[in-house]
Every structure is written in structure tokens, then in C-alpha cells.
Amino acid sequence: AQQYRITLLPGDGIGPEIITVAVQALTVIGKQFDLDFSFQEALIGGSAIDATGSPLPEETLKLCRNSDSVMLAAIGGYKWDSLPRHQRPETGLLGLRAGLGLFANLRPATILPQLVDASTLKREVVEGVDIMVVRELTGGVYFGEPKGVFETESGEQRGVNTMAYRSSEIDRIGKVAFETAQKRGGKLCSVDKANVLEVSQLWRDRITALAADYPEVELSHLYVDNAAMQLVRAPKQFDTIVTGNLFGDILSDAAAMLTGSIGMLPSASLGADGPGVYEPVHGSAPDIAGQDKANPLAQVLSAAMMLRYDLNQPAASDRLEKAVMTVLDQNYRTGDIMSEGMKLVGCQEMSDVLLAALEG
């Protein structure tokens, strides 16, 4: 059997509940496709702070680097919200992304036909939506220097972050985006704020220059405010979207709601080489943690992305995605995707029916 070392990062809140479901599903898939997964758990986020004082222990990064792939659930929670920045759970996640060089974050927002009625938008607006958001993940205002809270000469405090991109950073995410668009619908929309920001003007110029290498991809540009509006107004105009770190964070949450719930949206964070990190787009949902209410399907679909991108097992990935379709066809719904006439289940029961669908 093909062997794979997978590092699991359950994190905080609903993280442990949902990652268990994905691990159980992968275990069944492993038997069916003769894949030998060895799972190792490591600490990140709030639970790592509690155990070690650091949101990203050196050991965790080392384990991730030495594995074939990494599956992360979610980090964060009220308990750690008032810690200094370097000790916050979110800083651990950013350190993981930077430490593994994961500059490209692929966030597919596809509406499944079974969930059209779970969307808050009208059927005719969302039916058939299939968007890939390519978010730059290791640069921009999340990482730019200077950053911090500084004392001014008049004795005021001044909070500073810097939105900066080097041309090489724009070019490498641009290439991923053009290649993604090439394999999909052939349309790429680059989102920026070039009417106001210098960093966005450079972004637009570099993306425009790259287009010459991809004559079969149709490139367009939108300002981010208009893009947010267009996503809700007429989302079917989009195929592939490429944008910077902060705009991508915001637009992918908005795109998530086209699909019914953020609990359905997976993602893949990829670097130039080495293992990727596969994580749902949503967070640790502290408001429903420990109540068996979380939708585990974003995590399960993230595992499917891992099978496809890192492990090169497309048939196994298809099988897992098909099992998700089956449970939705059987009308099972967690609260976040519930609609009239459907069967309401918790995380655990969703897991049970998913495993049954996989075995069946």
C-alpha cells in the first residue's frame, strides 16, 4: 500500500469535532483504495498556548515539514482574545502558513444543487455558481512591515500595518491563478483597489503583464468594493478570482454564503513544494463548540482536496466528494444548511451517515 504521513492539527472550538469526521472518512477511503495513512496529531492555536505557552510550537512546524500533507481544523476562541498579539491563536496559524511557504490559498465556492434552498439568495442567482477564489496567503497587509502600535511624538498611540507586495510575490500567485483559470472556465478576474492604493496598482500592472503568457484566459479587473457587490448581485459572472491576502479573506467568506453555508467551504493552502495545509474556510465557531452542532463537511471536502492536490489520488477524492453528495441527496442537514422538509442532524450523526455512504 502507498504510505502517507498526515499531520493533524485539530486546534480549538469545533476543530476536534470536525477533524475526527474527516479522519474516519479517510480511514475508510484508505481501506478501499489501498492507501496507508499514518496520522500524527500536533498542537496549534489556543490549545497549544494552554499546553506550551506558544500558539505554534517548533515541534508542530517540524512535524508538518516532515509529513506528506497537513490537515488543519480551526483555531481561536474567546479565551485567548485578549492575549498579546504574538501569543494569539491566529498568530500561530499565520506562522504555519509563512513557515511552510503556503502562498496560494485555493477556496472553491461551488453551490451543490441540493443546497440551493439553503442559500439566503434567490435560486436563480445562485444556481450553478462555481467560483474559485485564489487568495495570496503569505504577504500583503497581514505580513507587511512596519507593524505594531507605536507612540507618537504627541504621546498618542498609533496602530500601524503595511500593505505591501513585491513583484515576485504578485507574479507567483498570478501564475497559480492563470493556470487555475486555464483548467477551469478560462476566465480570471483580478480584484484590487488600484484606484486608491499604490500596492494595488503594482498588482494590476503585474497581473496584466502576465496575461500575455496565457492568451486563452480572459482577464478582467475589478475594484474590491465593486467585486463584493457583484458577488452578491450576479455571482455567476465569476469563474476564477485572484486577489491579495485581506481582500481574499473577506471575499471568500462572502462567496461562502452563495453556497448555503460557510460550513461547506473547503480550502487548500499550497506552496512551491512541500506539504500543503488543508483547512475549512470557517473558524473555530466558539458559539456552537462542544454542542454537536458543527457541520463537518467543509473539513471532509478539505480532505478530498488533500487527496487530489497533495496525494495525487483523484479517484479517492472523487469517492469522498460523492459520499458528501449522497448524504445531501438523502436529505441529511446540519443546522447551518437546514431547510424545510430536510432531516436535521448533529455533527456525530452526519459522520455516521457519511461513513455509511462511503461503505455502501
- Rounded distance, CA 269 to CA 262, Å? 17
Residue 34 assigned as binding residue: no
Residue 298 partner contact from ligand IPM, ligand NAD, Mn ion, none using kind-dependent CB cut-offs of 5 to 8 Å: ligand NAD
- As measured in angstroms, the least distance from the Cβ of 187 to ligand NAD is 28
Which residues between 218 and 277 bind Mn ion (CB under 5 A)? Answer: 249
Q: Report the 3 state secondary structure along the chain.
A: CEEEEEEEEEECCCHHHHHHHHHHHHHHHHHHHCEEEEEEECCCCHHHHHHHCCCCCHHHHHHHHCCCEEEEEECCCHHHCCCCHHHCHHHHHHHHHHHCCCCEEEEEEECCHHHHHHCCCCHHHHCCCEEEEEEECCCHHHCEEEEEEEECCCCCEEEEEECCCCHHHHHHHHHHHHHHHHHCCCEEEEEECCCCCHHHHHHHHHHHHHHHHCCCCEEEEEEHHHHHHHHHHCHHHCCEEEECHHHHHHHHHHHHHHCCCHHHCCCEEECCCCCCEECCCCCCCCCCCCCCCCCCHHHHHHHHHHHHHCCCCHHHHHHHHHHHHHHHHCCEECHHHCCCCCEECCHHHHHHHHHHHHHC
Residue 82 assigned as binding residue: yes
* 254, 228 contact by CB (below 8 A): yes
- As measured in angstroms, the least distance from the Cβ of 12 to ligand NAD is 8
Among 192, 249, 321, 336, binds ligand IPM (CB under 6 A): 249
**Nearest to 277, CA basis, from 114, 92, 152:** 92
Which residues between 281 and 300 bind ligand IPM (CB under 6 A)? Answer: 281, 283
**If binding is defined by CB under 5 A, does position 279 make contact with Mn ion?**
no
Q: Which residues bind ligand NAD (CB under 6 A)?
A: 14, 74-77, 90, 93, 262-263, 279, 282-288, 294-295, 298, 336
Residue with smaller CB distance to ligand IPM, 68 or 279: 279
Task: Calculate the dihedral angle through the C-alpha atoms of 185, 134, 327, 294, rounding to the nearest 10 degrees.
Answer: -160
Residue 117 assigned as binding residue: no
Residue with smaller CB distance to ligand NAD, 126 or 137: 137
Residue 108 assigned as binding residue: no
Residue 205 assigned as binding residue: no
Residue 254 assigned as binding residue: no
Residue with smaller CB distance to ligand NAD, 64 or 285: 285
- As measured in angstroms, the least distance from the Cβ of 268 to ligand NAD is 13
Binding mask 49-88 for Mn ion (x = CB under 5 A): ----------------------------------------
For residue 221, what are the β-bridge partners?
Answer: 190
Among 93, 96, 231, 358, binds ligand IPM (CB under 6 A): 93
Residue 40 assigned as binding residue: no
Task: Write out the catalytic residue numbers.
Answer: 142, 193, 225, 249, 253
- As measured in angstroms, the least distance from the Cβ of 70 to ligand NAD is 13
- As measured in angstroms, the least distance from the Cβ of 5 to ligand NAD is 22
Residue 285 partner contact from ligand IPM, ligand NAD, Mn ion, none using kind-dependent CB cut-offs of 5 to 8 Å: ligand NAD
Residue with smaller CB distance to ligand NAD, 190 or 252: 252
Helix 245-258 × helix 224-233 angle, to 10°: 10
- As measured in angstroms, the least distance from the Cβ of 340 to ligand IPM is 31
For residue 242, what are the β-bridge partners?
Answer: 134, 190
Residue 88 assigned as binding residue: yes
Write out the residues near ligand IPM by the rule CB under 6 A.
76, 90, 93-94, 249, 281, 283
| Binding region for Mg(2+) | 225, 249, 253
Write out the residues near Mn ion by the rule CB under 5 A.
249
| Binding region for NAD(+) | 77-90, 283-295
